[in-house]
Amino acid sequence: NAGVTQTPKFQVLKTGQSMTLQCAQDMNHEYMSWYRQDPGMGLRLIHYSVGAGITDQGEVPNGYNVSRSTTEDFPLRLLSAAPSQTSVYFCASSKKSGGLTDTQYFGPGTRLTVL
């Protein structure tokens, strides 16, 4: 199994550009989530999904959109990139029974720089 995969690994954007970070999992997990990791701040939850067609906001949702059309995929869209969105982004998945407080499986991350 590939687990949780993320593309791209690295991305540089200019302020105002839009892009989509891809996330896919092959473990048939219902729960998927997006975090950003900033120095000295740990991981902060951006958006999450409890199943196909259902998404909700986390701690820091502003400037990001998500959708969940399939169980496997959970893309994160930056609508108009800002330098404050420079960060490392992690996607994670977990089983429905435990939700976000069950063991989460993390992807390798996407390092995004916004100039």
Partner 1 sequence: AQSVTQPDIHITVSEGASLELRCNYSYGATPYLFWYVQSPGQGLQLLLKYFSGDTLVQGIKGFEAEFKRSQSSFNLRKPSVHWSDAAEYFCAVGPGNNNDMRFGAGTRLTVKP
User: What letters, b where the CB count within 10 A reaches 16 and e where it falls short, cover 40-79?
Assistant: eeebebbbbbbebeebeebebbeebebbbeebbebbbebe
Residue type, 77: R
Q: CB-wise, 85 or 94, nearer to partner 1? A: 94
115 binds partner 1 (CB under 8 A): no
Q: Which one among 23, 32, 34, 48 touches partner 1, defined by CB under 8 A?
A: 48
**Binding to partner 1, residues 91-110 (CB under 8 A):** 92, 99-101, 103-104, 106-109
In the complex, least distance from residue 16 CB atom to partner 1, rounded to whole angstroms: 29
Q: How far apart are CA 59 and CA 33, in angstroms?
A: 12
Taking CB under 8 A as the criterion, the residue among 90, 93, 112, 114 binding partner 1 is: 90
Which of 45, 65, 71, 75 is in the footprint of partner 1 by CB under 8 A?
A: 45
Cα 24 from Cα 54, distance rounded (Å) = 16
Nearest-angstrom CA–CA distance, 62 and 65: 8
The SS3 of residue 9 is coil
Binding-site size for partner 1 (CB under 8 A) equals 25
Q: Which residues bind partner 1 (CB under 8 A)?
A: 4, 33, 35, 40-45, 48, 56-59, 90, 92, 99-101, 103-104, 106-109
